[in-house]
Structure 1
Amino acid sequence: MNYGPAPSPYTASALEDHRARTRRRRLLLGGTAFVAVLLGVAVWGLAGGGGTASGSRPPAAAQAPDAVRETVEEPPKSVEGKLAFTYTEEIREVGAVVTADGTWATARTFAKAYGNQITGIRLRAAGGKAAEAWKLKLPGRICAVTRHVSAAGRTPVVYSSTASGTDTSTASACDRLALVDLDTGRKLWEAELFGDTPPAQANVTMTDGVVAIASDQGSAGYDMTEGKRLWTGTAPSSCADEGFAGGTGLLALLRCGDSAAPAFRVQKVDPRTGRSRWTYRVARGVQGVHLVSASPAVIAVAAGDVLTTDLISLGDRGRAQGTIRIDRAHQQVDCDRPFSAVVESCTTVVVGERQLYLTTDDDVVAYDLTTGKSVFKFDSPSDSSSTVPLRMSGGRLIAYRAGGGFSPGAVVSLDPANRAETILLLFADSPDGELDGIDEPRNADIVYEHGRIFFGARTVHGPTTKGEVGETATVAVAIESVA
């Protein structure tokens, strides 16, 4: 089945709109091109012929295997997208609910958590087709995952050693931690958590070389290579670790005092020792806090409300810098997941080196982290759906734009340096509607990795009546370039 837009009015329209904006930008810049060239030559001369031109970036250095992956994407040979695969499961029990948190991809493999198992699908090689490569079955439910993956294609998973059925909505102890190789499906190491009193919920993340876990029974850090425990958190009884945010740094969220009127603290943590480097005390009256990014440090707070009201960036010493007030009539940050232990959950907010990116109405607006003020905007085409930021790719922003009407779905690369948009993939939903229900960022994982886009459900529901038993539910869909 071809998902890609063969020559048609909506494909031509999308590409022509992109070309028109490029032509306008060139005309605007053309008048100053000669001056820019002279300035560039002067700067090159002052630098002694070294360095890079303005707006260009040096090639990314190779990452260590246990560093958190930072993939820099390149445009594919063709922007025409096609269906790579659809992953479905059949649930026999009426009314069953299966949790499916966990959607990952490497250059070779897509992996999806579902209930108490993770399935690996080998991605298409030249002339081939995607096919199941491995299946890792765990004794009990998967309790906690992180979206972070190491440069070697590994990610931590917390799960229960207590056997469970298909319906994973029933709680059981979260007593095991494992590091999983996403290309092979092997557990490289596993560890027992918190001895005789394992938690019912947990939070897990990773930073360079370290896996960090937090729960109501305490917190701990593990060496990513060997699985050796590096430290345990024995916080005072007045404060408890809520969870961590990882990536290129490690940020901890603590809840202190009375549960009816808690006080929150955010700490920058040394990953190897667990010691705090600085502490930011969140203002009283805040009902909830989520960790948006560890480095740069950004938090989301619900001030006087149960939903997020503000995004706050924190400086190198833990002092508040810019504050972005959320207008819920026009912006959705989607940090709040009811009855979840996840604190690193603001998946529709992307933080770059100097700016934070957030969808406002249908466009992506960039905010300065130091001041909290909006600095520029990436406009969505007038006939398209909202553009949602997914992640950074070097200095550029990768974003997803849902299709609708005569507009195809799209993955685009947005460059803050010159406001340029580059189309990476164009695709339309199929007549059977495989994307229905799993392409909404509030309810699904959307991952763009190595030129492919993946949509993964976070929750899969069984049949509502006996007459529906035997029908399959879509767990994940992947789209790739035809080239």
Structure 2
Amino acid sequence: MTQPPPPPNQPPGPPPGGFGAPQDPPPGGFGAPTPPPAQPPAQPPYGYPQQPPAPPQQPPAQQPYGYPPQQPPAQPQEYGYPQQQYPQPQSQQPYGYPTQPQYQQTPQAPVVPPAGGRKLSAQMQIVIAAVVAVVLIIGGGVWYANSGGDDKTDDAGGSSGAATAGQDGGKDGGGIGGGGKEKVPANPKSTASFKLDLPNVPDITDVTGSWITDKAYVKTGVDSVVGYDLDKGTVLWTLPLTGQVCGASRHMTADYKVPVLFEATKRVAPRYIQPCTEVGLLDLSTGKLVWSASVSGGSAGDKKVTFSEVTLHGQTVAAGGLDGGAAFDLANGNPRWKPQADAAQCKDLGYGGGEGLVAVRKCGTSDDPTVIIQNLNPTTGAPISQYKMPKGVDWAGVVSAKPLVVAADVGDTAGDGSNISDFFSIDEKTGKLKAKITADADRYAARCRSAAVESCTQVVVGNNRLYLPTEEHEGSTGEYGDETNEIVAFDLNNGQLAPNKSDAGDRYTLIPLRMDGGNVIAYKWPPYDKGGQIVSIDGGTMKPTLLMENPSDKETRSAETSFSSIGAEYRYANGRFFVSQRLVSKTKKETTSYLKSYLAMGFRVGG
């Protein structure tokens, strides 16, 4: 495949061989941070408050368990983000609500020159351990489709689709929420429609990828992608591939086309893994491969570039990884840009798609990296705007491309494996930081994979808010097994906590999946004696509406909870709910039905 000609009229970019078409380097070299002025400005330096923070208002009479007493900050907070006065607290704050403000609008960081756990099944614990051992990190969950637009950007797996919020929120909803397409059934009781057996594999195998179309539930298999009848689970079509799927897009087009990554050859002993080099576009309506492509260049030299994740925005398919990033024309697979050698050691690690196209670009050495978030022109790859992440960040996850929200573990401070210490709300037009939201790892439950840009789960964005679940904590009865949590919301303009929250209820745990208009679709992980639930939460009032309640018989609930709550793919649309594995290990025979694990399982309301 020939390299496309350099696009005209690009803004200033990297030096020859850098990102996109060759361009003249900016002063100081490609990717280098803007040097500070010789003399400091008259105002206080970046990150420090213009005035000392005001002391907090009268503290509550009683602090909730585990929360420190309120005190005014003695000095500016780390990275220069001061605390600010928060509204008067109630006598007792609910779990997940900070007793002192931790979030606020922050000054703009200097812009660099344009640069071109829980409830794990035994089998899943084995799988996760094996994944860590072989460092098999592949792109994350996928999204389901509904009508309208160039590409489907509603989220069904836990990462934000940045869906446009409804504006018909109810009382005390602040004028937001509502407007969802999911209908409330007359009877929310569901039945288990089908179960798919685990494939027989010789070693750990990535099966990331599941989608819902108007006619099929589509799931990655072994060296293939398979379409199943929505209600019966019978095979509608099978698409064989040259090798195993090794990355799947969270987004698909209005006519059910979705990009994936796959290996060029089948896996063989002893390693059972091949380079992830092929980019392909699947038509999920017909079960056909529309096109496939690969590129060379960058750190891969003359060899094929290996990728770890792929995404979609409009007419551009973008794939990224440790060798750098490339983009392809959705219509025919022709490359729009590909990785090239770079003197400043800059490369695109990956992209966030959907309503926009955002690159996470890394420059410099592994000992002293600089991570830049770039909002891209999807045709040329030229940066429209960019934001330089603070020191101590060596990777970032794109939660939403528009509005632009990224997550990062600053200075490896998260400490819980979530890879999130803070969320950054960025103006995608100007590259200015709007708010930095600190996500205490002991309090909030979102997660991102450390080597995948578009892999964050259990967090969604909509209504210009970040919806975040709290960690599980003791319920109202205080009895063993009585754990619960909430979903709370943060304003993306100023980082402040919204006044309303949604409670899971005793013994349930809320997991946000995606936006539906201005509502949050969430899964409620069940207690040991009940089935799970799907609820639609008004994005303003945070009041839940029950859409589905799964059966509570022992065999069904055992199958439902055999999937890891932090490792499964969850999809809900039009009264149908599907849960599936992302990784499977060597098949193990189970003699007892309620101990059996499955590749995927479906539920539906109405019989």
Q: TM-score, length-normalised on structure 2?
A: 0.63
> RMSD over aligned Cα, in angstroms?
2.6
Distance 1:186 1:260, change over 3 A: same
Deviations 1:316-346 (A, max 9, x none): 3111111111111121211125xxx421111
1:117-153 deviations in Å (ceiling 9; x for gaps): 21210213xxxx3311111221212221122122111
Percent of matched pairs sharing the same residue: 29
Say which of 440, 447, 460 aligns to 1:334: 447
Which residue of structure 2 lines up, in the alignment, with residue 386 of structure 1?
Answer: 509
CA contact (8 A) 2:311 2:353 kept: yes
Matched residue pairs, number?
409
Q: Counterparts of 1:80-479 in structure 2 under 5 Å?
A: 80-91=189-200, 93=202, 96-124=203-231, 129-165=232-268, 170-194=272-296, 196-234=302-340, 236-237=342-343, 238-305=345-412, 307-315=419-427, 316-337=429-450, 341-361=451-471, 362-405=485-528, 407-432=530-555, 433-440=558-565, 442-463=566-587, 473-479=597-603
Could you tell me how far apart the structure 2 residues matched to 1:74 and 1:445 are?
22
2:38 corresponds in structure 1 to none
1:216, 1:336 → 2: CA distance? 14
Cα distance in 2 for residues equivalent to 1:429 and 1:191: 47
Cα offset for 1:370?
0.8
Which residues of structure 1 form unaligned runs of 5+?
A: 1-60
Read off the aligned partner of 2:262 and give its amino acid letter.
Y
Distance 1:203 1:311 in 2: 21
SS of the residue 2:350 aligns to = strand
Shift of 1:430: 4.3
Relative to structure 1, the CA distance from residue 389 to residue 137 in structure 2 (aligned partners, 3 Å threshold; closer, same or farther) is same
Letter in 2 for 1:80: K
- Which range moves more in the overlay, 256-265 or 403-412? 403-412
Q: Note the C-alpha offset of 1:290.
A: 1.4
Partner of 2:47: none
What is the deviation of 1:170? 3.6
Q: In structure 2, what is the Cα distance between the partners aligned to 1:166 and 1:329?
A: 42
Q: Deviations over 1:229-275 (max 9, x none)?
A: 23335473421110000011011001111112311111001112211
CA contact (8 A) 1:189 1:227 kept: yes
| Counterpart Cα distance in 1 of 2:454 and 2:388 | 18
d(CA) in 1 for partners of 2:441 and 2:508? 18
Distance in 1 separating the partners of 2:504 and 2:262: 43
Q: Displacement, 1:465?
A: 9.1
Alpha-carbon separation, structure 2, partners of 1:460 and 1:419: 36
What residue in structure 2 maps to residue 7 of structure 1?
none
Q: Give the CA deviation at 1:194.
A: 2.5
Consecutive unaligned residues in structure 2, runs of 5 or more: 1-145, 155-179, 414-418, 472-484
Query: Aligned equivalents of 1:402 and 1:323: distance in 2?
Result: 30
> How far off its partner does 1:90 sit?
4.0
* Separation (CA, whole Å) in 2 of partners of 1:143 and 1:112: 13
Q: Distance in 1 between matches of 2:306 and 2:329?
A: 23
Asked if structure 1 preserves the Cα contact closer than 8 Å seen for 2:262 and 2:279, the reply is yes
- 1:160-217: per-residue Cα shift (whole Å, max 9, x none)? 11222499x7432223211111232111122233274123443210012221112344
TM-score, with structure 1 as normaliser: 0.79
The question of whether the paired residues in 2 share the 8 Å contact of 1:263 and 1:282 is answered with yes
Shift of 1:288: 2.9
Give the secondary-structure state (helix, strand or coil) at the position aligned to 2:214.
coil
Is the CA contact 1:348–1:389 (under 8 Å) kept in the aligned structure 2?
yes
Contact 1:81–1:426 (Cα < 8 Å) also in 2: yes
**Larger proportion of strand:** 1
Q: For the residues of structure 1 that align with 2:310 and 2:351, how far apart are their CA atoms?
A: 7
Taking structure 1 as reference, are residues 234 and 430 closer, same or farther at Cα in structure 2, changes over 3 Å only? farther
- Closer/same/farther in 2, CA of residues 429 and 246 from structure 1, 3 Å limit: farther
Query: Structure 1 residues 436 and 406, CA, compared in 2 at 3 Å: closer, same or farther?
Result: closer
